[in-house]
Chains A and B, each alone.
Chain A
Amino acid sequence: MSAAAKIAVDGLEVTFKGSGKPVRAVQGVSFDVAEGAAFGLVGESGSGKSTVLKAIAGLIAPSAGAIRLDGGSLGARRTPDERKAMQYVFQDPYGSLHPRQTVDRALREPLAIHRIADADARIQEALAGVGLDARHRYRFPHQLSGGQRQRVAIARALILSPSILLLDEPTSALDVSVQAEILNLLQRLRTERSLTMIFVSHDLAVVAHVCETLAIMREGRIVERMPVETLRAGDADQAYSRELIAASRGYVRRENVDAR
Protein backbone atom coordinates (compact mmCIF):
# COMPACT_ATOMS: atom_id res chain seq x y z
CA MET A 1 0.00 0.00 0.00
CA SER A 2 1.46 3.32 -1.02
CA ALA A 3 2.12 5.89 1.68
CA ALA A 4 0.41 8.60 -0.32
CA ALA A 5 -3.01 6.93 -0.13
CA LYS A 6 -5.72 9.31 1.04
CA ILE A 7 -7.94 6.42 1.91
CA ALA A 8 -6.99 2.75 2.13
CA VAL A 9 -9.20 -0.29 2.62
CA ASP A 10 -7.39 -3.43 3.69
CA GLY A 11 -8.96 -6.89 3.95
CA LEU A 12 -12.42 -5.49 4.62
CA GLU A 13 -15.07 -7.99 5.69
CA VAL A 14 -18.70 -7.24 6.44
CA THR A 15 -20.97 -10.01 7.70
CA PHE A 16 -24.64 -9.51 8.43
CA LYS A 17 -26.01 -11.79 11.10
CA GLY A 18 -29.74 -12.29 11.18
CA SER A 19 -32.08 -15.09 12.13
CA GLY A 20 -30.85 -17.24 9.26
CA LYS A 21 -27.43 -17.99 7.88
CA PRO A 22 -24.93 -15.10 8.24
CA VAL A 23 -24.49 -13.18 4.98
CA ARG A 24 -20.92 -12.35 4.04
CA ALA A 25 -21.68 -9.17 2.10
CA VAL A 26 -18.07 -8.04 1.73
CA GLN A 27 -15.16 -10.49 1.67
CA GLY A 28 -11.50 -9.51 1.69
CA VAL A 29 -11.86 -6.22 -0.16
CA SER A 30 -8.67 -4.11 -0.41
CA PHE A 31 -7.90 -0.99 -2.44
CA ASP A 32 -6.46 2.44 -1.94
CA VAL A 33 -7.24 5.80 -3.41
CA ALA A 34 -4.64 8.55 -3.82
CA GLU A 35 -5.41 12.10 -2.83
CA GLY A 36 -7.44 13.86 -5.51
CA ALA A 37 -8.16 10.61 -7.38
CA ALA A 38 -11.56 9.17 -8.25
CA PHE A 39 -12.04 5.45 -7.68
CA GLY A 40 -15.04 3.55 -9.02
CA LEU A 41 -16.75 0.53 -7.51
CA VAL A 42 -18.99 -1.20 -10.01
CA GLY A 43 -21.07 -4.33 -9.90
CA GLU A 44 -24.59 -5.65 -10.08
CA SER A 45 -27.12 -5.52 -7.26
CA GLY A 46 -26.00 -7.50 -4.24
CA SER A 47 -22.33 -7.34 -5.20
CA GLY A 48 -21.49 -5.46 -2.00
CA LYS A 49 -20.38 -2.18 -3.58
CA SER A 50 -22.65 0.03 -1.48
CA THR A 51 -21.80 -1.93 1.66
CA VAL A 52 -18.11 -1.12 1.15
CA LEU A 53 -18.98 2.57 0.88
CA LYS A 54 -21.13 2.46 4.01
CA ALA A 55 -18.36 0.70 5.93
CA ILE A 56 -15.91 3.46 4.92
CA ALA A 57 -18.37 6.10 6.07
CA GLY A 58 -18.83 4.29 9.37
CA LEU A 59 -22.53 3.60 8.73
CA ILE A 60 -21.92 -0.17 8.95
CA ALA A 61 -19.44 -1.86 11.28
CA PRO A 62 -16.93 -4.08 9.48
CA SER A 63 -16.37 -7.54 10.97
CA ALA A 64 -12.69 -7.53 10.02
CA GLY A 65 -10.11 -5.48 8.15
CA ALA A 66 -8.84 -1.95 8.39
CA ILE A 67 -9.84 1.37 6.88
CA ARG A 68 -7.17 4.08 6.93
CA LEU A 69 -7.61 7.79 6.40
CA ASP A 70 -4.38 9.69 5.69
CA GLY A 71 -2.47 6.67 6.97
CA GLY A 72 -4.23 6.48 10.34
CA SER A 73 -6.58 3.59 11.14
CA LEU A 74 -10.21 4.48 11.69
CA GLY A 75 -11.84 3.15 14.86
CA ALA A 76 -15.26 1.63 15.28
CA ARG A 77 -16.81 5.08 15.67
CA ARG A 78 -15.90 8.05 13.52
CA THR A 79 -14.68 11.14 15.34
CA PRO A 80 -16.37 14.43 14.42
CA ASP A 81 -13.30 15.41 12.37
CA GLU A 82 -13.35 12.12 10.47
CA ARG A 83 -17.05 12.53 9.75
CA LYS A 84 -16.44 16.03 8.53
CA ALA A 85 -13.67 14.86 6.22
CA MET A 86 -15.83 12.20 4.55
CA GLN A 87 -19.24 13.14 3.23
CA TYR A 88 -21.83 10.95 1.56
CA VAL A 89 -24.19 11.52 -1.37
CA PHE A 90 -26.99 8.99 -1.79
CA GLN A 91 -28.82 7.75 -4.86
CA ASP A 92 -32.23 9.14 -4.21
CA PRO A 93 -32.23 12.76 -3.07
CA TYR A 94 -35.96 12.54 -2.41
CA GLY A 95 -35.30 9.84 0.16
CA SER A 96 -32.31 11.53 1.75
CA LEU A 97 -33.75 15.03 2.17
CA HIS A 98 -36.32 15.59 4.89
CA PRO A 99 -39.64 16.24 3.13
CA ARG A 100 -40.75 18.86 5.66
CA GLN A 101 -37.49 20.75 5.94
CA THR A 102 -36.48 23.55 3.61
CA VAL A 103 -33.22 23.54 1.71
CA ASP A 104 -31.95 26.15 4.18
CA ARG A 105 -32.67 23.86 7.13
CA ALA A 106 -31.07 20.84 5.42
CA LEU A 107 -27.89 22.82 4.88
CA ARG A 108 -27.92 24.40 8.34
CA GLU A 109 -28.06 21.05 10.13
CA PRO A 110 -24.49 19.85 9.42
CA LEU A 111 -23.16 23.30 10.36
CA ALA A 112 -24.99 23.16 13.68
CA ILE A 113 -23.74 19.63 14.40
CA HIS A 114 -20.17 20.62 13.75
CA ARG A 115 -20.57 24.02 15.47
CA ILE A 116 -19.51 26.02 12.50
CA ALA A 117 -20.23 29.74 12.69
CA ASP A 118 -21.28 32.06 9.92
CA ALA A 119 -24.01 29.71 8.72
CA ASP A 120 -25.81 32.20 6.47
CA ALA A 121 -22.81 33.04 4.37
CA ARG A 122 -21.81 29.40 4.12
CA ILE A 123 -25.25 28.28 3.00
CA GLN A 124 -25.28 30.95 0.33
CA GLU A 125 -21.83 29.93 -0.82
CA ALA A 126 -22.70 26.21 -0.84
CA LEU A 127 -25.80 26.84 -2.96
CA ALA A 128 -23.83 28.99 -5.39
CA GLY A 129 -21.20 26.26 -5.61
CA VAL A 130 -23.73 23.77 -7.00
CA GLY A 131 -25.43 26.23 -9.31
CA LEU A 132 -28.43 27.10 -7.14
CA ASP A 133 -29.33 30.52 -5.72
CA ALA A 134 -31.41 32.36 -3.15
CA ARG A 135 -34.64 31.42 -4.94
CA HIS A 136 -34.11 27.78 -3.99
CA ARG A 137 -33.03 28.39 -0.42
CA TYR A 138 -36.42 28.34 1.28
CA ARG A 139 -38.07 25.70 -0.86
CA PHE A 140 -39.08 22.22 0.24
CA PRO A 141 -37.71 19.14 -1.58
CA HIS A 142 -41.01 18.51 -3.39
CA GLN A 143 -40.80 21.99 -4.91
CA LEU A 144 -37.53 21.14 -6.62
CA SER A 145 -36.78 19.01 -9.68
CA GLY A 146 -34.81 15.78 -9.35
CA GLY A 147 -31.62 17.44 -10.54
CA GLN A 148 -32.05 20.38 -8.16
CA ARG A 149 -32.62 17.99 -5.26
CA GLN A 150 -29.41 16.14 -6.07
CA ARG A 151 -27.62 19.50 -6.19
CA VAL A 152 -28.92 20.22 -2.69
CA ALA A 153 -27.65 16.83 -1.49
CA ILE A 154 -24.23 17.63 -2.96
CA ALA A 155 -24.26 21.11 -1.39
CA ARG A 156 -25.09 19.54 1.96
CA ALA A 157 -22.11 17.21 1.62
CA LEU A 158 -19.75 20.00 0.55
CA ILE A 159 -20.79 22.59 3.12
CA LEU A 160 -18.42 20.97 5.64
CA SER A 161 -15.50 21.27 3.17
CA PRO A 162 -14.74 17.53 3.19
CA SER A 163 -11.67 16.13 1.50
CA ILE A 164 -13.44 12.90 0.49
CA LEU A 165 -16.78 12.49 -1.24
CA LEU A 166 -18.47 9.08 -1.08
CA LEU A 167 -21.03 8.84 -3.88
CA ASP A 168 -23.54 6.01 -4.05
CA GLU A 169 -25.25 5.95 -7.49
CA PRO A 170 -25.69 9.74 -7.41
CA THR A 171 -27.18 9.94 -10.92
CA SER A 172 -29.09 6.66 -11.38
CA ALA A 173 -32.44 8.22 -10.52
CA LEU A 174 -31.94 11.07 -12.99
CA ASP A 175 -32.73 11.57 -16.67
CA VAL A 176 -29.73 11.46 -18.97
CA SER A 177 -29.79 15.23 -19.59
CA VAL A 178 -29.86 15.93 -15.83
CA GLN A 179 -27.23 13.28 -15.23
CA ALA A 180 -24.91 15.16 -17.60
CA GLU A 181 -25.34 18.35 -15.56
CA ILE A 182 -24.65 16.59 -12.25
CA LEU A 183 -21.60 14.73 -13.61
CA ASN A 184 -20.19 17.99 -14.99
CA LEU A 185 -20.82 19.64 -11.62
CA LEU A 186 -19.00 16.83 -9.78
CA GLN A 187 -16.04 17.12 -12.16
CA ARG A 188 -15.81 20.88 -11.64
CA LEU A 189 -16.05 20.58 -7.84
CA ARG A 190 -13.46 17.84 -7.81
CA THR A 191 -10.92 20.03 -9.64
CA GLU A 192 -11.74 23.19 -7.69
CA ARG A 193 -11.49 21.54 -4.29
CA SER A 194 -9.09 18.67 -5.07
CA LEU A 195 -11.62 16.19 -3.72
CA THR A 196 -10.92 12.47 -3.43
CA MET A 197 -13.91 10.47 -4.64
CA ILE A 198 -15.18 6.95 -4.29
CA PHE A 199 -17.97 6.49 -6.79
CA VAL A 200 -20.33 3.53 -6.64
CA SER A 201 -22.43 2.77 -9.71
CA HIS A 202 -23.83 -0.04 -11.80
CA ASP A 203 -23.36 2.10 -14.93
CA LEU A 204 -19.96 1.42 -16.47
CA ALA A 205 -20.10 4.41 -18.84
CA VAL A 206 -20.78 6.79 -15.94
CA VAL A 207 -17.93 5.33 -13.89
CA ALA A 208 -15.60 5.56 -16.87
CA HIS A 209 -16.51 9.22 -17.23
CA VAL A 210 -15.71 10.06 -13.61
CA CYS A 211 -12.97 7.69 -12.44
CA GLU A 212 -9.37 6.89 -13.40
CA THR A 213 -9.35 3.47 -11.76
CA LEU A 214 -12.10 1.10 -10.77
CA ALA A 215 -12.82 -2.27 -9.26
CA ILE A 216 -15.48 -4.69 -10.47
CA MET A 217 -17.25 -6.45 -7.62
CA ARG A 218 -19.26 -9.64 -7.53
CA GLU A 219 -20.73 -11.51 -4.58
CA GLY A 220 -18.84 -9.45 -2.03
CA ARG A 221 -15.41 -9.73 -3.63
CA ILE A 222 -13.37 -7.63 -6.00
CA VAL A 223 -13.17 -9.58 -9.24
CA GLU A 224 -10.71 -7.27 -10.89
CA ARG A 225 -9.15 -3.83 -10.59
CA MET A 226 -8.36 -1.89 -13.74
CA PRO A 227 -7.49 1.52 -15.09
CA VAL A 228 -10.29 3.20 -17.00
CA GLU A 229 -8.46 2.64 -20.32
CA THR A 230 -8.83 -1.13 -19.86
CA LEU A 231 -12.55 -0.71 -19.24
CA ARG A 232 -12.93 1.47 -22.33
CA ALA A 233 -11.01 -1.01 -24.46
CA GLY A 234 -13.02 -3.89 -22.99
CA ASP A 235 -9.92 -6.09 -22.58
CA ALA A 236 -10.40 -7.12 -18.97
CA ASP A 237 -8.67 -10.24 -17.61
CA GLN A 238 -11.63 -11.91 -15.94
CA ALA A 239 -14.48 -13.52 -17.85
CA TYR A 240 -17.07 -11.87 -15.58
CA SER A 241 -15.66 -8.39 -16.21
CA ARG A 242 -15.74 -8.95 -19.94
CA GLU A 243 -19.31 -10.23 -19.73
CA LEU A 244 -20.36 -7.14 -17.77
CA ILE A 245 -18.66 -4.77 -20.20
CA ALA A 246 -20.20 -6.53 -23.21
CA ALA A 247 -23.67 -6.48 -21.62
CA SER A 248 -23.48 -2.76 -20.95
CA ARG A 249 -22.77 -2.05 -24.61
CA GLY A 250 -26.31 -3.10 -25.47
CA TYR A 251 -28.27 -6.00 -26.79
CA VAL A 252 -26.78 -8.28 -29.42
CA ARG A 253 -29.30 -9.93 -31.68
CA ARG A 254 -28.63 -13.43 -32.85
CA GLU A 255 -28.78 -13.30 -36.61
CA ASN A 256 -30.10 -16.81 -37.02
CA VAL A 257 -32.61 -17.54 -34.34
CA ASP A 258 -31.98 -21.14 -33.40
CA ALA A 259 -34.54 -23.35 -31.70
CA ARG A 260 -32.87 -22.57 -28.34
Chain B
Amino acid sequence: MTEAPLLDVEGLDVVYAGREGTTHAVRDVTFTLGRERLGIVGESGSGKSTTGRALLGLIAPPGVVTARKMTFQGEDLRALDDEGWQAMRGRRLSMVMQDPKYSLNPVKPIGEQIMETFRLHNPGRAGEAKGRALAMLEAVRIRDPHAVFARYPHQLSGGMGQRAMIAMMLIGEPDVLVADEPTSALDVTVQNEVLRILDDLVTARGMGLIFISHNLTVVSSFCDRVLVMYAGRVVESCDAKALDNAKHPYTRALLAAAPRLDDPKADLSVVVRDPAWLA
Protein backbone atom coordinates (compact mmCIF):
# COMPACT_ATOMS: atom_id res chain seq x y z
CA MET B 1 0.00 0.00 0.00
CA THR B 2 1.49 3.32 -1.01
CA GLU B 3 -1.08 5.75 0.41
CA ALA B 4 -1.88 6.09 4.12
CA PRO B 5 -4.43 3.55 5.34
CA LEU B 6 -8.06 4.56 5.84
CA LEU B 7 -8.22 2.87 9.20
CA ASP B 8 -5.26 2.24 11.46
CA VAL B 9 -6.00 0.21 14.58
CA GLU B 10 -3.45 -0.85 17.16
CA GLY B 11 -4.08 -2.82 20.35
CA LEU B 12 -7.87 -2.62 20.31
CA ASP B 13 -9.46 -4.03 23.47
CA VAL B 14 -13.14 -4.35 24.35
CA VAL B 15 -14.00 -5.36 27.90
CA TYR B 16 -17.41 -5.92 29.45
CA ALA B 17 -17.50 -5.75 33.23
CA GLY B 18 -20.36 -7.77 34.68
CA ARG B 19 -21.47 -9.17 38.01
CA GLU B 20 -19.84 -12.48 37.25
CA GLY B 21 -16.48 -11.03 36.32
CA THR B 22 -15.20 -9.27 33.24
CA THR B 23 -15.46 -10.56 29.69
CA HIS B 24 -12.58 -9.69 27.47
CA ALA B 25 -14.40 -9.74 24.11
CA VAL B 26 -11.63 -8.27 21.96
CA ARG B 27 -7.94 -8.52 22.90
CA ASP B 28 -5.11 -6.55 21.41
CA VAL B 29 -6.40 -6.44 17.83
CA THR B 30 -4.15 -4.64 15.38
CA PHE B 31 -4.76 -4.05 11.66
CA THR B 32 -4.90 -1.45 8.93
CA LEU B 33 -7.46 -1.03 6.17
CA GLY B 34 -6.79 0.50 2.79
CA ARG B 35 -9.10 0.73 -0.21
CA GLU B 36 -9.59 -3.01 -0.18
CA ARG B 37 -11.81 -5.88 0.98
CA LEU B 38 -10.67 -7.04 4.40
CA GLY B 39 -12.39 -10.15 5.74
CA ILE B 40 -12.75 -10.98 9.43
CA VAL B 41 -13.66 -14.63 10.04
CA GLY B 42 -14.28 -16.56 13.21
CA GLU B 43 -16.90 -18.57 15.05
CA SER B 44 -19.62 -17.15 17.27
CA GLY B 45 -18.12 -15.39 20.25
CA SER B 46 -14.76 -14.83 18.59
CA GLY B 47 -15.14 -11.04 18.81
CA LYS B 48 -15.48 -10.30 15.10
CA SER B 49 -18.76 -8.36 15.36
CA THR B 50 -17.60 -6.59 18.51
CA THR B 51 -14.50 -5.44 16.63
CA GLY B 52 -16.73 -4.07 13.84
CA ARG B 53 -19.00 -2.29 16.28
CA ALA B 54 -16.06 -0.79 18.17
CA LEU B 55 -14.85 0.79 14.93
CA LEU B 56 -18.13 2.70 14.69
CA GLY B 57 -18.28 3.65 18.36
CA LEU B 58 -21.29 1.39 18.86
CA ILE B 59 -20.14 -0.39 22.00
CA ALA B 60 -22.62 0.61 24.71
CA PRO B 61 -21.82 0.62 28.44
CA PRO B 62 -20.85 -1.47 30.35
CA GLY B 63 -18.58 -2.19 27.38
CA VAL B 64 -15.31 -0.30 27.46
CA VAL B 65 -13.19 0.25 24.35
CA THR B 66 -9.49 1.05 24.60
CA ALA B 67 -6.77 1.14 21.97
CA ARG B 68 -3.20 2.29 21.63
CA LYS B 69 -4.17 3.77 18.31
CA MET B 70 -7.44 4.02 16.39
CA THR B 71 -7.44 6.50 13.54
CA PHE B 72 -9.66 7.04 10.53
CA GLN B 73 -7.95 9.03 7.75
CA GLY B 74 -5.59 10.35 10.36
CA GLU B 75 -8.33 11.44 12.74
CA ASP B 76 -8.24 9.96 16.24
CA LEU B 77 -11.47 8.01 16.79
CA ARG B 78 -10.73 7.61 20.50
CA ALA B 79 -11.16 11.34 21.01
CA LEU B 80 -14.67 11.52 19.50
CA ASP B 81 -17.62 12.50 21.68
CA ASP B 82 -21.24 11.68 20.82
CA GLU B 83 -21.47 14.62 18.46
CA GLY B 84 -18.23 13.70 16.77
CA TRP B 85 -19.48 10.14 16.22
CA GLN B 86 -22.75 11.47 14.80
CA ALA B 87 -20.80 13.39 12.19
CA MET B 88 -18.62 10.36 11.46
CA ARG B 89 -21.17 7.56 11.28
CA GLY B 90 -23.09 7.18 8.07
CA ARG B 91 -21.14 9.90 6.30
CA ARG B 92 -17.60 8.58 6.49
CA LEU B 93 -17.92 5.22 8.22
CA SER B 94 -20.97 3.04 7.80
CA MET B 95 -22.23 -0.39 8.78
CA VAL B 96 -24.54 -2.99 7.21
CA MET B 97 -26.01 -5.58 9.54
CA GLN B 98 -26.95 -9.18 8.91
CA ASP B 99 -30.71 -9.09 8.69
CA PRO B 100 -32.59 -6.30 6.89
CA LYS B 101 -35.76 -7.38 8.69
CA TYR B 102 -34.40 -6.06 11.96
CA SER B 103 -32.48 -3.04 10.77
CA LEU B 104 -35.11 -1.37 8.59
CA ASN B 105 -38.01 0.53 10.10
CA PRO B 106 -41.04 -1.70 9.50
CA VAL B 107 -43.62 1.12 9.43
CA LYS B 108 -41.90 3.43 6.95
CA PRO B 109 -41.58 2.96 3.18
CA ILE B 110 -38.06 2.19 1.92
CA GLY B 111 -37.74 5.44 -0.03
CA GLU B 112 -38.65 7.58 3.00
CA GLN B 113 -35.99 5.84 5.05
CA ILE B 114 -33.29 6.41 2.49
CA MET B 115 -34.33 10.06 2.01
CA GLU B 116 -34.26 10.60 5.75
CA THR B 117 -30.69 9.35 5.88
CA PHE B 118 -29.71 11.65 3.02
CA ARG B 119 -31.32 14.71 4.62
CA LEU B 120 -29.59 13.96 7.89
CA HIS B 121 -26.18 13.99 6.25
CA ASN B 122 -26.93 16.84 3.82
CA PRO B 123 -29.11 19.34 5.68
CA GLY B 124 -29.05 22.01 2.99
CA ARG B 125 -29.89 19.71 0.10
CA ALA B 126 -33.29 18.27 1.00
CA GLY B 127 -34.57 18.92 -2.50
CA GLU B 128 -32.16 16.39 -3.97
CA ALA B 129 -33.16 13.64 -1.57
CA LYS B 130 -35.64 11.80 -3.78
CA GLY B 131 -33.43 11.81 -6.84
CA ARG B 132 -30.45 10.60 -4.83
CA ALA B 133 -32.46 7.86 -3.11
CA LEU B 134 -33.69 6.55 -6.47
CA ALA B 135 -30.17 6.70 -7.88
CA MET B 136 -28.85 4.70 -4.92
CA LEU B 137 -31.54 2.03 -5.38
CA GLU B 138 -30.49 1.80 -8.98
CA ALA B 139 -26.84 1.54 -7.98
CA VAL B 140 -27.59 -1.57 -5.90
CA ARG B 141 -29.26 -3.05 -9.04
CA ILE B 142 -32.86 -2.85 -8.04
CA ARG B 143 -34.64 -3.19 -11.35
CA ASP B 144 -37.65 -1.01 -10.59
CA PRO B 145 -36.42 1.66 -8.15
CA HIS B 146 -39.70 3.59 -8.21
CA ALA B 147 -41.73 0.56 -7.10
CA VAL B 148 -39.28 -0.39 -4.33
CA PHE B 149 -39.12 3.23 -3.19
CA ALA B 150 -42.80 3.10 -2.24
CA ARG B 151 -42.74 -0.34 -0.59
CA TYR B 152 -42.56 -1.24 3.09
CA PRO B 153 -39.79 -3.58 4.29
CA HIS B 154 -42.15 -6.56 4.72
CA GLN B 155 -43.06 -6.32 1.03
CA LEU B 156 -39.47 -7.02 -0.01
CA SER B 157 -37.63 -10.33 -0.27
CA GLY B 158 -34.49 -10.88 1.81
CA GLY B 159 -32.13 -10.06 -1.03
CA MET B 160 -34.09 -6.96 -1.99
CA GLY B 161 -34.20 -5.79 1.65
CA GLN B 162 -30.45 -6.22 1.98
CA ARG B 163 -29.90 -4.18 -1.20
CA ALA B 164 -32.13 -1.43 0.19
CA MET B 165 -30.06 -1.52 3.41
CA ILE B 166 -26.84 -1.16 1.44
CA ALA B 167 -28.36 1.72 -0.58
CA MET B 168 -29.22 3.48 2.68
CA MET B 169 -25.77 2.97 4.16
CA LEU B 170 -24.08 4.24 1.02
CA ILE B 171 -26.12 7.39 0.46
CA GLY B 172 -23.84 9.28 2.85
CA GLU B 173 -20.96 8.19 0.58
CA PRO B 174 -18.79 6.70 3.33
CA ASP B 175 -15.14 5.88 2.75
CA VAL B 176 -15.34 2.75 4.85
CA LEU B 177 -18.17 0.24 5.08
CA VAL B 178 -18.28 -2.40 7.81
CA ALA B 179 -20.53 -5.23 6.66
CA ASP B 180 -21.42 -7.67 9.44
CA GLU B 181 -22.56 -10.99 7.91
CA PRO B 182 -24.35 -9.06 5.13
CA THR B 183 -25.16 -12.15 3.11
CA SER B 184 -25.58 -14.87 5.75
CA ALA B 185 -29.37 -14.68 5.78
CA LEU B 186 -29.55 -14.91 1.98
CA ASP B 187 -29.75 -17.80 -0.47
CA VAL B 188 -26.47 -18.59 -2.24
CA THR B 189 -27.49 -17.24 -5.64
CA VAL B 190 -28.76 -13.99 -4.10
CA GLN B 191 -25.69 -13.88 -1.86
CA ASN B 192 -23.40 -13.73 -4.86
CA GLU B 193 -25.43 -10.88 -6.40
CA VAL B 194 -25.09 -8.84 -3.20
CA LEU B 195 -21.35 -9.61 -3.08
CA ARG B 196 -21.04 -8.40 -6.67
CA ILE B 197 -22.65 -5.07 -5.68
CA LEU B 198 -20.26 -4.64 -2.74
CA ASP B 199 -17.34 -5.64 -4.93
CA ASP B 200 -18.18 -3.06 -7.60
CA LEU B 201 -18.61 -0.36 -4.96
CA VAL B 202 -15.14 -1.04 -3.59
CA THR B 203 -13.64 -1.03 -7.08
CA ALA B 204 -15.61 1.88 -8.54
CA ARG B 205 -15.72 4.21 -5.53
CA GLY B 206 -12.44 3.21 -3.94
CA MET B 207 -14.17 2.37 -0.69
CA GLY B 208 -12.60 0.32 2.09
CA LEU B 209 -14.69 -2.67 3.12
CA ILE B 210 -14.53 -4.74 6.29
CA PHE B 211 -16.41 -7.94 5.62
CA ILE B 212 -17.30 -9.91 8.75
CA SER B 213 -18.39 -13.50 8.19
CA HIS B 214 -18.32 -17.01 9.61
CA ASN B 215 -18.22 -18.44 6.09
CA LEU B 216 -14.69 -19.37 5.04
CA THR B 217 -15.66 -20.11 1.43
CA VAL B 218 -17.23 -16.69 0.96
CA VAL B 219 -14.40 -14.82 2.65
CA SER B 220 -11.61 -16.62 0.82
CA SER B 221 -13.28 -16.11 -2.57
CA PHE B 222 -14.45 -12.52 -2.01
CA CYS B 223 -11.86 -10.68 0.09
CA ASP B 224 -8.31 -9.49 -0.55
CA ARG B 225 -6.98 -10.12 2.96
CA VAL B 226 -8.33 -12.06 5.92
CA LEU B 227 -8.01 -11.78 9.67
CA VAL B 228 -8.90 -14.96 11.56
CA MET B 229 -10.22 -14.33 15.07
CA TYR B 230 -10.33 -16.76 17.95
CA ALA B 231 -11.39 -15.90 21.51
CA GLY B 232 -11.08 -12.16 20.89
CA ARG B 233 -7.65 -12.32 19.27
CA VAL B 234 -6.45 -12.17 15.70
CA VAL B 235 -4.62 -15.49 15.47
CA GLU B 236 -3.77 -15.22 11.80
CA SER B 237 -3.71 -12.63 9.07
CA CYS B 238 -3.13 -13.65 5.49
CA ASP B 239 -3.88 -13.16 1.84
CA ALA B 240 -7.44 -14.38 1.16
CA LYS B 241 -6.27 -16.58 -1.69
CA ALA B 242 -3.74 -18.21 0.62
CA LEU B 243 -6.36 -19.08 3.26
CA ASP B 244 -6.31 -22.73 2.17
CA ASN B 245 -2.65 -22.83 3.17
CA ALA B 246 -3.20 -21.09 6.50
CA LYS B 247 -0.57 -21.72 9.13
CA HIS B 248 -2.27 -21.29 12.48
CA PRO B 249 -3.56 -24.63 13.85
CA TYR B 250 -6.98 -23.10 14.61
CA THR B 251 -7.46 -21.86 11.04
CA ARG B 252 -6.30 -25.22 9.72
CA ALA B 253 -8.68 -27.07 12.05
CA LEU B 254 -11.57 -24.83 11.01
CA LEU B 255 -10.88 -25.47 7.33
CA ALA B 256 -10.68 -29.21 7.92
CA ALA B 257 -13.96 -29.26 9.87
CA ALA B 258 -15.98 -27.84 6.97
CA PRO B 259 -17.37 -30.41 4.52
CA ARG B 260 -16.31 -29.69 0.95
CA LEU B 261 -17.91 -30.63 -2.34
CA ASP B 262 -14.55 -31.35 -3.95
CA ASP B 263 -13.06 -33.34 -1.08
CA PRO B 264 -15.22 -36.20 0.22
CA LYS B 265 -14.36 -37.54 3.68
CA ALA B 266 -15.89 -40.31 5.76
CA ASP B 267 -15.46 -38.33 8.96
CA LEU B 268 -15.01 -34.61 9.41
CA SER B 269 -12.13 -33.62 11.61
CA VAL B 270 -13.14 -32.02 14.87
CA VAL B 271 -11.58 -28.82 16.18
CA VAL B 272 -9.51 -29.67 19.25
CA ARG B 273 -8.87 -26.43 21.07
CA ASP B 274 -5.39 -25.90 22.39
CA PRO B 275 -5.13 -23.67 25.50
CA ALA B 276 -1.89 -22.36 24.03
CA TRP B 277 -3.94 -20.45 21.41
CA LEU B 278 -5.14 -18.21 24.22
CA ALA B 279 -1.67 -17.30 25.36
Interface residues of A, Cβ cutoff 8 Å to B = 44-45, 146, 175-177, 179-181, 183-184, 187, 202, 204-206, 208-209, 231-232, 234, 243-245, 247-253, 257, 260
Contacts and interface: CB of A to CB of B under 8 A. Distances in A.
Given A176-B254, A208-B259, A253-B199, A243 B189 contact: yes
Given A177-B270, A208-B261, A247 B199 contact: no
Given A248-B188, A249-B261, 13 more contacts: A176-B43, A176-B214, A176-B254, A180-B271, A205-B260, A205-B261, A208-B261, A232-B264, A247-B189, A251-B195, A251-B196, A251-B221, A253-B199
Nearest to B272: A177
B257 A249 contact: no
Contact of A177 (B220, B257, B259): B257
Given A177-B43, A177-B271, A251-B218, A257 B259 contact: no
Interface of B: 43-44, 158, 187-192, 195-196, 199-200, 203-204, 214, 216-218, 220-222, 253-254, 257-262, 264-271
B268 A45 contact: no
A204 B264 CA distance: 12
Given A177-B254, A209-B268, A202 B188 contact: yes
A205 B258 contact: yes
Given A202-B187, A204-B261, A257 B270 contact: no
A234 B260 CA distance: 13
Contacts of B264: 208-209, 232
15 contacts: A45-B158, A45-B187, A177-B254, A180-B258, A180-B259, A184-B268, A208-B261, A232-B262, A247-B188, A247-B189, A248-B188, A248-B261, A251-B222, A253-B222, A257-B203
Contacts of A250: 217-218, 220-222
Contact of A247 (B192, B200, B259): B192
A179 B203 CA distance: 35
B257 to A, nearest CB: 4
Contact of B217 (A179, A181, A249): A249
Given A44-B188, A176-B254, A209-B268, A183 B259 contact: yes
Nearest to A247: B188
A232 B191 CA distance: 21
Nearest to B267: A184
